[in-house]
Amino acid sequence: MLCDSHCHLADERVRSDLAGVLERAAAAEVGPIIAVGAIGTIETDRATVAIAEHHDGVFAAIGVHPHDAAACDKSRLNELRALARSRKVAAIGESGLDFHYMRSPIEAQEIAFRRHLELAAALDLPIVIHCRDAEARLVEIVREIEMPPAGGVIHCFTGDAEAARSFLTLGFHISFSGIVTFRNAATLRAVVPMVPDDRLMVETDAPYLAPEPYRGKRNEPAYLRRTLEAVAALRGNEPAALSEIVTNNAIRLFRLTTR
Ligand SMILES: [Zn+2]
Ligand SMILES: [Zn+2]
């Protein structure tokens, strides 16, 4: 099997075709699946947890996306805490900093990110981090607050070699998406062999970021095989061996055998 460490099953484009999406994932031997809520309102997190509870092999991450950081107030955090009582909730996130799109003011993003680090530590869950064009600042904040004891992953890593080294030193896992298959991603491809075997994951981030040759289409977990093959080629691994490595890493980080 091959774990999709990050996708958005509650997104309308996926949810409207959920049975088909999960069937094609199973046929491609993609699973377990970490379904991330976080985008939009608390309803997205609720729907994501409900999907996880209804499907074996699907687990949830809940939080407030940096795009929506201003909505990360006390009541939202309390709602997340209540949702996290589900055994199928395996992580907090995605949270972090996005200075590329800058859909929320920096200050709101930083406050929300600190609260997510604290929440992950309090609930003893790993954190799923979203970071775009904000690597240095994100590292500073994690150093101040401390890494959640259960660890975490930088999802859809898009930084350079220096950023990768900083994240690895802090103890993070690094997850690569379909971007590694894009023609203009040479800098990112150079980072792929740097990540030690025991810190590596892959993801679709569906419905976003479909790998080549599906680029521009709605992404889904079944397409993860393309990304795995690209990552394996860059590292000089056999895809089957690498599939086992990244899946075991996800099982360990998200403690899936206990859920
Ligand atoms: Zn993200
Ligand atoms: Zn995402």
| 157 alpha carbon – ligand 1 mean position (Å) | 9
Tokens, residue 41? 């309102």
| 162-197 pLDDT per residue, tens | 999 999 999 999 999 999 999 999 999 999 999 999
| 26 alpha carbon – ligand 1 mean position (Å) | 24
pTM (2 d.p.)? 0.97
For residue 6, the SS3 value is strand
CA 62/CA 64 separation, integer angstroms? 7
- Would you say 77 and 62 are in contact if contact means Cβ atoms under 8 Å apart? no
Q: How large is the average pLDDT for residues 155-164? A: 97
| 94-105 pLDDT per residue, tens | 999 999 999 999
| 210 alpha carbon – ligand 2 mean position (Å) | 13
pLDDT of residue 216: 93
| 210-234 pLDDT per residue, tens | 999 999 999 999 999 999 999 999 9
In CATH, the architecture of 2-258 is Alpha-Beta Barrel (3.20)
Query: Could you say which ligand is closest to the alpha carbon of residue 38?
Result: 2
| 173 alpha carbon – ligand 2 mean position (Å) | 16
* CB burial of residue 43 (10 Å; 0-12, 13-18, 19+): exposed
3-state helix, strand, coil in the chain (%, to 5): 50, 15, 30
| 147 alpha carbon – ligand 2 mean position (Å) | 20
Domain ranges of the chain: 2-258
Q: 30: which strand partners?
A: 2
CA 210/CA 227 separation, integer angstroms? 9
| 156 alpha carbon – ligand 1 mean position (Å) | 7
CA 73/CA 92 separation, integer angstroms? 15
Position 147 confidence tier, pLDDT thresholds 50, 70, 90: very high
Q: 154: which strand partners?
A: 129, 174
Query: Could you say which ligand is closest to the alpha carbon of residue 158?
Result: 1
Position 85 confidence tier, pLDDT thresholds 50, 70, 90: very high
Query: Could you say which ligand is closest to the alpha carbon of residue 10?
Result: 2
Which string of DSSP letters, residue by residue, matches 151-184?
A: -EEEET----HHHHHHHHHHT-EEEE-GGGGSTT
Pick the closest to residue 11 from 205, 217, 164 (CA basis): 205
Query: Could you say which ligand is closest to the alpha carbon of residue 129?
Result: 1
- Would you say 40 and 246 are in contact if contact means Cβ atoms under 8 Å apart? no
CA 242/CA 91 separation, integer angstroms? 23
Q: 152: which strand partners?
A: 127
CA 155/CA 38 separation, integer angstroms? 13
| 219 alpha carbon – ligand 2 mean position (Å) | 12
| 39 alpha carbon – ligand 2 mean position (Å) | 8
- Would you say 166 and 193 are in contact if contact means Cβ atoms under 8 Å apart? no
Query: Could you say which ligand is closest to the alpha carbon of residue 91?
Result: 2
| 4-45 pLDDT per residue, tens | 999 999 999 999 999 999 999 999 999 999 999 999 999 999
| 78 alpha carbon – ligand 2 mean position (Å) | 22
Residues with CB under 5 A from ligand 1 (ion): 94, 130
